[in-house]
Amino acid sequence: MAMWKRSIDLETLNKLGENSLVAHVGIVFTVIGEDHLEATMPVDVRTQQPFGLLHGGASVVLAESMGSIAGYLSIEEGKSVVGIEVSASHHRAVSSGEVRGICRPLHLGARNQSWQIEIRNARDQLCCTSRLTVAVLG
C-alpha cells in the first residue's frame, strides 16, 4: 500500500519499543494493515488508576504511541515525526483484560499528519477516541 513508506514486520516494530514506556505498559503491535495499525495493551497494575479502572493517561500513551509509529511508517527515510497535540475522549470504563487500539489516518500532509485512534475493550465496545497530530520534520 502506498500509505506505508517504510517496510517493517511486527517483530521488528515491537522491538522498537523495547526499553521505553511502550514496553513498560505492555503495548504490543498486532496488525500492520493496508490502511491502519492495531495494538493491544493490558489493563493491569501498570495501566490502572487507584480505583482499578484503565487510567486515561494510559489510553493516551497507547494512542500517542500508535499514531507516532504510524506517522514514522508513512514518511520517507531521512524524515521523522514528533507529536504536537493529542486529545482523548473517554467513553467507557475498563477494569480488566486488555484493550485494542486501531489507528487510521485522518490527514497525511507534507508538514503534518492527523491520526485517529479508537480504543476498544474485549467485547469490541468503544472505550476511548483519541486524535494525534504530528509534525513531519526533515
Q: Which secondary-structure segment (H or E) carries 131? A: strand 126-137
**Does residue 34 form part of some domain?**
yes
**Does residue 25 form part of some domain?**
yes
pLDDT score, position 38: 98
Instruction: List the CATH number of the domain containing 121.
Output: 3.10.129.10
Structural domain of 27 = 10-137
pLDDT score, position 88: 98
**Does residue 104 form part of some domain?**
yes
The single residue of 11, 18, 34, 64 carrying the catalytic annotation is: 64
Give every residue of the chain whose pLDDT is below 70, as ranges: 1
pLDDT score, position 46: 97
pLDDT score, position 52: 96
**Does residue 3 form part of some domain?**
no
pLDDT score, position 2: 73
64 an active-site residue?
yes
Q: How many domains does the chain have?
A: 1
HEC-encoded secondary structure of 56-121? HHHHHHHHHHHHHHHHHHCCCCCCEEEEEEEEEEECCCCCCCEEEEEEEEEEECCCEEEEEEEEEC
Provide the CB-side half-sphere exposure for 91 (13 A, CA).
Answer: 11
